[in-house]
Every structure is written in structure tokens, then in C-alpha cells.
Amino acid sequence: MRLWGGRFGEGPDSRMADFTRSIEVDAELALDDLAGSIAHVRGLARAGLLTAEEAEALERGLAGLRDDVVAGAIAWDPALEDVHMNLETLLTERVGALGGKLHTGRSRNDQVATDMRLWTRRAVGLLDDGILDLERSLVDLADREGDAVLPGATHIQPAQPVLLAHHLLAYVEMLERDRGRLTDAKVRLNVSPLGSGALAGAGYPLDRAATAADLGFDGVSANSLDATSDRDFVVEVLSAVALTMVHLSRLAEEITWWSNPRFGFVRVADAFSTGSSMMPNKKNPDPAELVRGRTAGVIGALAGVLALIKGLPLAYQRDLQEDKPAFFAAVRTLDASLAVMTGLVTTLVVSRERMRAAAEEGYTTATALADALVRRGVPFRAAHHIVGGLVGGAEAEGIATLAGLPDEAFRAALDGSDDPAARRLAHERGIAAALRAAATVEGSLAAADVVGGTAPNRVAEALAAAKGRLGVE
């Protein structure tokens, strides 16, 4: 088949042919291209452009090609430039001159736009399954080890105690938003551009809506210029992919720190660790590190596609050929990253003792102690000042926790306050015991009894809701 058509007297220079071909990348679209072609054949038959016998022969030939693609039996010819011309050439070899009718009313412009939407729709389903698997592994770990306590942090400093389940469910929330973004993008991408031609629309009475329905689209594009040149759906899905990778990277970062013996909060399974070529003692959480590292490439892919389309006039431009390498690679990266993070989380071993010991450090119950004073009538700013003094005193005396302070320390801090309510509290019977209870890890956890808080009853509710939503037993 002559790719350059009757307009040209000679074929392309070999350097140009090598530079412009895309079969090494867009062979990925083969099944989608064949699905689009089968639907197009049916549309041509409905329009009276093919006889029933011709349509049947073409569809039979395309179905045979589909079987060969699935079996890996196709030898792609780089001289035929792209997946579309390869498949059309192979079809013509099988059905004869009839294969030349396949491209009636269709351009490679609306053809590739259709293929890309079909591929992206499949990718969204694949990624949604992967995200669900990771969410379920996080929920399983939260159910198994969730009442372990660790130090919640801000500024990478000890802040307040939180339940491990609460921490893990934060990632479930992130991943649910990621699923939502992919689902939302799927709504907009599920529109058929087929029938838009090169840019002005097909020159035949094709029933675009019927063909769209055959392909599982929700409708047809409203403007042929936009349809053939639109890659918003690539950007939207790639944006969701990049943000999901960022969320995985955050989890990976925490696991790398938690598995460091200085923390010792978790132990990564041998199956998800590597050693060192030099240091026999090493056990490295390489999968987590690579997820973190590959996130950079996916972010770069998003930036690259945005830069690719920012200056393109209507309608189709050959620049758009370059959307595929970055997009396909980003989807593959996220799919693999979800799988490896699911395995890593599923096999994590938690050290409750190390987490609990760390949660006791840094006077993490100070906020709960201040809140206990507020509930007894002390203004928050006065309570903040009083508890800050208690922290300073405990630190100076080498007392590791606020709950470890003696009774006289609580009374003296209250009695020395400028606030009258605090001074009155200093003389209440049992006040030191009450404040000491509030300053324990359990008291701190229980005090955060609001929707979305880390109080055990609230976390239990959130965990039950997540299990129900995700179908976890």
C-alpha cells in the first residue's frame, strides 16, 4: 500500500520515514482500532455504502485480525508507519480489494481520536481496579492493627497521638478522591469522535449515534474540528494519574521512614525488600523508593502533554502523535505502582510497641490537656500558656510525659496563672488526677470525639464505613 497517495511522485526519504513512524508505540491501540473499524463497517452498511455481504466479509476479516493481535501473531511492519495502516494493509491482504472500502467516510484523524478514547476508557477501568485493591489492603491493615497508636506529626515533629487506623484511612480518603477524578474524567471522554472525518465531518449519511452506541459511548462529539484535535481527556486522566502517583509517593515516603530501625514502626517483608551489593546488613524498601522516584516521571508526562497542546491551532496537527508515549507510560507506571504498593502494605508487619513509645515522646498530649482546662472554664489562650509552662517544666526536670508530672506541678501551674478560672481550679479536689488522665495517650485519643477525629469510636465508625463501601468483610 502506498502511504503517500497519488499526490506524490516519490516516497518519503528514509530519514523522514524513520522520524515519523509510530508503530512501535501505537501498536498498543490495535484492539481499539479493530473495535472502531468493526463499528465503522456496520455504520457503512447502515448507510448503504456496503452491501450486507461486503460488511460481513470485512467484519470477519477484522475479527480474524483481532484474534491474531490477542495471540501476539501480528508482525508489525515499520514501513507502514502506524497501527492503522498496518491493520488496513493486513485486512486487504485477507479480503482483497474490498479492504479499500474500509476507510470510506473516515480519516486517520477521527480514527485515532476514537482509538485513544477507547484505550483511555479501558485504562480508567484498569486503574480503578488497582486503586480499589490498594484501598482494601489499607483497610485490612487498619482492621488488623488499627488500634496501634503512633505520633501524628506536623512540621515532621511530634504533634498529637493518633490511631494507626486513622492514619491509614487518610490514604483511603485520598485514593477515593483519585477514583472520583478518574470516574469524572471518564464521563467527558466517553463521547465518540468517529464520523468527524479529517476535520469537517464525514461526507456520507453516517448514523454517528448508532456507531457510538455500538462502541459503548454515551454520545457523539458536537463539533468535528474539536473532535479530531481534542486531547483534553488525555490531560484530565493524566492529571488524575499524576495526583494518584503523588499520593502513593507520600505513602511510600512514610513507609521508608517507618521501616528505618530508628523508627522501627513497621517491618517490610523480605519479598518487597532488596539487599546491598556491598553491605550485608542492608534491607532496603526499594519498591517504595521507586514508586516515589517514578512519580517524578508521571508528573513530567503531564507537564509534557500540556506543553504539547498549548500552541496547536485547529484542527489536527501531527504533534498530537506525541501524546501517546508519555500517556501510555504514565498509565503503566501507575498500574504497576498500585500493584507493588498493595503487596507491600498487605505484608507489612507493625510494631505496636515502637509506635506507642514514639507516641509518648514529645509531650504529644499537651493539646488534650489544654482542652481539658478549657472544658473547665479556662480560656484557651490561658490554657495554652499554662500547658506550655508544664511542658517546659517537665522537660527541665527530665520527666518524659505530662502524665508523669506530680500533683503539685499541676496545682502550681494553675495557681500561678493570671486567669481567675485557672486559679480557682488549683484548689478543686481531684483536679490533678483529672488533668493527669486527660494527659495520657488514651485521654488524648478519646478527646478527639468528632466526625473525622481519631477517637477510637469515631475511627471504628469510619473503618466500618470504608469496609462497607469497599466490600471488605
3-state class (DSSP) for residue 7: coil
Q: Which of 185, 143, 134, 178 is nearest to 164 (CA)?
A: 143
String of DSSP letters for 364-416: TTHHHHHHHHHHTT--HHHHHHHHHHHHHHHHHHT---GGGS-HHHHHHHHHT
Q: Which string of b and e fits 170-209 if b means at least 16 CB within 10 Å? A: bbbebbbebbebbeebbeebbbbbbbbbebebbeeebebe
Q: Residue 350: which CATH number?
A: 1.20.200.10
Active site residue 337: no
Rounded CA-CA distance 22/324 in Å is: 9
Place of cell 505484608: 347
The amino acid occupying position 278 is M
What pLDDT, on a 0 to 100 scale, did the predictor assign at position 4?
56
- Do residues 341 and 280 share a domain? yes
d(CA 109, CA 20): 15
Residue 108 lies in a domain: no
Task: Please identify every stretch of the chain with a pLDDT value under 70, giving residue numbers as ranges.
Answer: 1-5
Residue 3's pLDDT is what? 56
Instruction: Single out the residue of 324, 418, 318, 400 nearest to residue 360, CA to CA.
Output: 400
Tell me, yes or no, whether 27 lies in a domain.
Answer: yes
**Of 317, 342, 357, which marks where a domain is finished?**
357
The reply to whether 229 belongs to the active site is no
The answer to whether residues 291 and 424 belong to one domain is no
The reply to whether 216 falls in a domain is no
The answer to whether residues 23 and 87 belong to one domain is yes
Same domain for 159 and 64: no
Which of the residues 276, 277, 417, 427 is marked catalytic?
A: 276
- Active-site hit among 22, 103, 107, 155: 155
pLDDT attached to residue 87: 98
Is 185 found in the same domain as 333?
yes
Domain membership flag for residue 62: yes
* Count of the separate structural domains present in the chain: 3
pTM of the model: 0.95
Helix (H, G, I), strand (E, B) or coil at 155: coil
Residue 159, all three cell numbers: 504533634
Residue 6 forms part of a structural domain: no
Residue of 220, 233, 110, 132 whose CA lies nearest to 178? 132
Q: Do 352 and 403 belong together in one domain?
A: no
In a domain, 203, yes or no: no
- Residue range of the domain that includes 238: 115-193+230-357
Q: Which of residues 300, 332, 357 is at a domain's end?
A: 357
- Is residue 314 domain-shared with residue 186, that is, in the same domain? yes
Check: CB of residue 123 under 8 Å from CB of residue 237.
yes
- Domain check: are 338 and 371 in the same one? no
Which CATH number does the domain housing residue 87 bear?
1.10.275.10
* Same domain assignment for residues 411 and 321: no
Q: What pLDDT does residue 194 have?
A: 98
122/30 Cα distance (integer angstroms): 13
Reference 106, options 174, 30, 32, 193; nearest CA is 193
How far, in Å, CA of 107 to CA of 201, rounded?
10
Peptide bond into 123 cis (omega under 30): no
Q: What is the pLDDT of residue 350?
A: 98
- Report how far residue 196's alpha carbon sits from residue 221's, in angstroms, rounded to the nearest whole number: 8
Residue 214 belongs to some domain of the structure:
no
155 and 283 housed in the same domain: yes
Q: Looking at the structure, do residues 243 and 348 belong to the same domain, yes or no?
A: yes
Position 12 scores a pLDDT of 86
Is residue 432 a part of any domain in this protein?
yes
Last residue of a domain, one of 327, 357, 387: 357
Amino acid letter for position 470: L
For residue 151, list its beta bridge partners: 161
Please check whether residues 150 and 296 belong to one and the same domain: yes
